[in-house]
Amino acid sequence: MDAPPKVSIVVTCRNNEQTIGECLQALASQNYPEDAFEILVIDACSTDATADIARKYTPKVYSEPINAAAAYNYAMKIASHSILGFVDSDAKVERDWLKKLVPHLNDPKVAGVSGSIETWNIENPWARSIGYEIKNRYSHIGKYTGRIATMNLLLKRGVIEEVGGWDEDLPSQYDTDFGYRMSGLGYKIAYEPDAKCYHYNRPTLRAYWRQQRQYGRNTTRLYFKHGHLARGDEITDVGMNIQPALYLLVFAFAVLGIVPLLRVLWYVAGGVLLAILVYYVYSAAKLAVKFHDGTAMRLVVLYYVRAFAWICGAGSAAVKFLFCERRKKQT
What is the C-alpha to C-alpha distance for residues 24 and 189, in angstroms, rounded to an integer?
24
User: Beta strands 61-63 and 37-43: pairing type?
Assistant: parallel
Give the model's pLDDT for residue 326: 58
Q: What is the DSSP secondary-structure string of 91-159? A: EEE-TTHHHHHGGGGGSTTEEEEEEEEEESSTTSHHHHHHHHHHHHHHTT--SEES---TTEEEEEHHH
**Nearest one of 268, 37, 70, 25 to 171, comparing CA atoms:** 70
- Are 182 and 163 in contact by the 8 Å Cβ rule? The answer is yes
Q: Which CATH superfamily is domain 7-202 in?
A: Spore Coat Polysaccharide Biosynthesis Protein SpsA; Chain A (3.90.550.10)
Domain ranges of the chain: 7-202, 223-330
The residues, any chain, with a CB within 8 Å of residue 15's CB and separated by 6 or more, are 46, 47, 48, 50
Amino acid 321: pLDDT:
61
Which residues have a Cβ under 8 Å from the Cβ of 226 and sit 6 or more positions away?
A: 177, 180
**In which residue ranges of the chain is pLDDT below 70?**
1, 321-331
**Ramachandran category for residue 292: left, alpha or beta (phi over 0 → left; psi -120 to 50 → alpha):** left
Q: Which residues of 273-294 are buried (b: 16+ CB within 10 A; e: fewer)?
A: eeebeeebeebbeebbeebeee
Residue 118 — left, alpha, or beta (φ > 0 → left; ψ -120 to 50 → alpha)?
beta
pTM above 0.75, yes or no: yes
Three-state secondary structure call for residue 195: strand
Measure the CA–CA gap between 195 and 309, rounded to whole angstroms: 32
As a whole number, the mean pLDDT across the chain is 93
CA-closest candidate to residue 141, choices 87, 102, 195, 190: 190
The whole-angstrom separation of Cα 267 and Cα 254 is 9
Residue 167 is classified by DSSP as -
Instruction: Report the share of the chain in percent with pLDDT over 70.
Output: 96
Residue 230 pLDDT: 78
Under a CB-based contact definition with an 8 Å cutoff, are residues 226 and 180 in contact? yes
Can you list the pairs that 290-298 forms with residues at least 24 positions away whose Cβ atoms lie under 8 Å?
Answer: 290/132, 290/136, 291/132, 291/135, 293/128, 293/132, 295/125, 295/128, 295/129, 296/128, 296/129, 296/132, 296/133, 298/125, 298/126, 298/129
**DSSP state letter for 6:** P
What 3-state class would DSSP assign to 63?
strand
To the nearest 5 percent, what fractions of the chain are helix, strand and coil?
55, 15, 30
